[in-house]
């Protein structure tokens, strides 16, 4: 139901006769599956995005399996196809290389992702590359974060470093603006400089990664206000006209590329 409502929403946005459309039908259907997203509660855009992508993936995966069965493709012999257009567009792969600091045994663990949550390394101004460098830098796991080493037969301190082994067609960055400051969870208003084009991720990708690691920005989700009292807006680039637009509730206005850089950016789509 929510997938059909989402499809209708996309159709109305692209081909409808009105200047703006309401996502009410999609939201009503979506809320039946995810009751935590109530009408009167403040919710996190990143959590909502992950739920929407998962909902679309599960539904579209079933459709793909049904279509293949109708086409008499022997899915049983090859295993059920677990992909969808969502995974084809948004899913990437990380590989974590873990080195035991005692015996130096190396293991690799893979993990898929649809959104990369990036730490903000400075309360002053920084760049998206600074955030990426912080995320992909080698880390040391000690104390309660020790890793079990099969060679040593017990948990040990370890060094871990992540690399991208499969770059998605669309990569989404979540800027971790909300953090615990003592016993209070606050918001970081750090001004993060991010490029509109030529974002090069080759420094963080495996040599075996065959996908193009250079990206251009296509959308930004902004959060203004505070943790429990804020407002979301979006900047989106029209893929046909290449113009940028600001979506603020029912107000849609064209903006120059220079206005896309903002200190309220929360989600970046490349």
Whether 75 shows a pLDDT value over 60: the answer reads no
The pLDDT of residue 69 is 66
212: burial class by Cβ within 10 Å (0-12, 13-18, 19+)?
A: exposed
- Which residue do the tokens 């909902």 mark? 55
* Angle subtended at Cα 203 by Cα 85 and Cα 194, rounded to the nearest 5 degrees: 70
**Angle 58-6-54 from CA coordinates, rounded to 5°:** 25
Give the pLDDT of residue 42: 77
Tell me the β-bridge partners of 181: 184
pLDDT of residue 38: 75
Task: Judge whether residue 5 has pLDDT over 80.
Answer: yes
The yes-or-no verdict on residue 226 having pLDDT over 80 is: yes
Sequence ranges of the domains in the chain: 1-90
> What's the whole-model pTM score?
0.89
Can you tell me the mean pLDDT for 154-169? 95
Q: Given a cut of 80, is residue 70 above it in pLDDT?
A: no
With a cut of 80, say whether residue 182 has pLDDT above it.
no
CB-neighbour burial class of residue 78 (10 A; exposed 0-12, middle 13-18, buried 19+) = exposed
Rounded to whole angstroms, the Cα distance separating 100 from 106 reads 7
What's residue 78's pLDDT? 56
The region of weakest confidence among 80-89, 126-135, 146-155, 228-237 is 80-89
* Predicted pLDDT at 195: 97
Range 34-40 average pLDDT: 79
Judged against a pLDDT cut of 80, whether residue 76 lies above it is answered with no
β-strand pairing of 115-118 with 172-175: parallel
- Report helix angle 24-33 to 45-70, nearest 10: 90
Query: Which pLDDT score is estimated for 68?
Result: 66
């Amino acid at each position: 139901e929510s997938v059909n409502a989402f499809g209708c929403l996309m159709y109305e946005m692209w081909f409808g006769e009105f200047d703006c459309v309401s996502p009410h039908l999609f939201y009503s259907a979506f809320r039946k599956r995810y009751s935590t997203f109530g009408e009167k509660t403040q919710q996190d855009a990143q959590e909502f995005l992950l739920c929407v992508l998962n909902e679309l993936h599960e539904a579209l995966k079933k459709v793909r399996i049904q279509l293949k069965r109708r086409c008499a493709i022997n899915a049983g012999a090859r295993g059920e196809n677990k992909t969808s257009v969502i995974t084809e567009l948004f899913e990437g792969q990380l590989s974590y290389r873990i080195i035991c600091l005692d015996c130096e045994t190396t293991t690799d663990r893979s993990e898929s992702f649809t959104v990369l949550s990036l730490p903000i390394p400075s309360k002053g101004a920084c760049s998206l590359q600074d955030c990426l460098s912080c995320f992909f830098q080698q880390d040391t796991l000690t104390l309660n974060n020790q890793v079990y080493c099969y060679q040593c037969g017990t948990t040990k301190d370890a060094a871990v470093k992540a690399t991208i082994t499969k770059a998605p067609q669309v990569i989404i960055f979540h800027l971790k603006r909300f953090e615990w400051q003592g016993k209070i969870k606050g918001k970081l208003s750090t001004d993060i400089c991010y490029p509109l084009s030529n974002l090069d991720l080759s420094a963080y990708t495996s040599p075996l990664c065959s996908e193009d690691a250079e990206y251009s920005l296509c959308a930004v989700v902004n959060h203004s206000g505070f943790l429990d009292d804020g407002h979301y807006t979006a900047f989106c680039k029209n893929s046909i006209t290449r113009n940028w637009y600001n979506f603020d509730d029912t107000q849609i206005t064209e903006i120059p590329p220079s206005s896309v850089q903002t200190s309220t950016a929360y989600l970046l789509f490349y």
